[in-house]
Amino acid sequence: MEKKREKTKIRNKNLHHAFVKILLKSPVTNIKFSKGKISLNFFNHKISDKISIKREDHVAEWSRKRKEIFIDRNFSEKEKEKSFRALCIHELIERFLSKTFGLNIDKEAHLVATQKEKEYLKNIKGNWRSHELKVFWDWHKLGEH
């Protein structure tokens, strides 16, 4: 009985990893920003959220209670527009994956969202390294790792 349970656990883990790999390969399409909202298509789902710019402890977060993304107002300056939009995409996808498929926020959902954020910046000729450093230093100031 114990061997059967262990085999099932391993099979489920392998299926879970395969699912995350599929998500990593799935494209983000039809990205639109308008009037404080973001919408896009990902993994055959149309998803959207409201974007709120306010004082936040982190660069960006998503609401656990409603469809809303919070971006720190210190991060939304004009010269950072590409990074701002990339953060919105990251948070929207991360929330979608954790709420819809129950993916672990810090590991799986974040991994996929970061990949999609990077792909977006590449497509719009943004600088991933510069963006990554802005986000890293914001988290670093808060003692996050």
Domain spans of the chain?
2-141
Residue 66: the pLDDT is 87
Mean pLDDT confidence for 59-71: 88
3-class DSSP string for 15-75:
HHHHHHHHHHHCCEEEEEEECCEEEEEECCEEEEEEEEEECCCCCEEECCCCCEEEEEHHH
Q: What pLDDT was estimated at residue 145?
A: 47
- pTM for the full predicted model: 0.88
* pLDDT per position as a tens digit, 109-145: 999 999 999 999 999 999 999 888 888 776 655 555 4
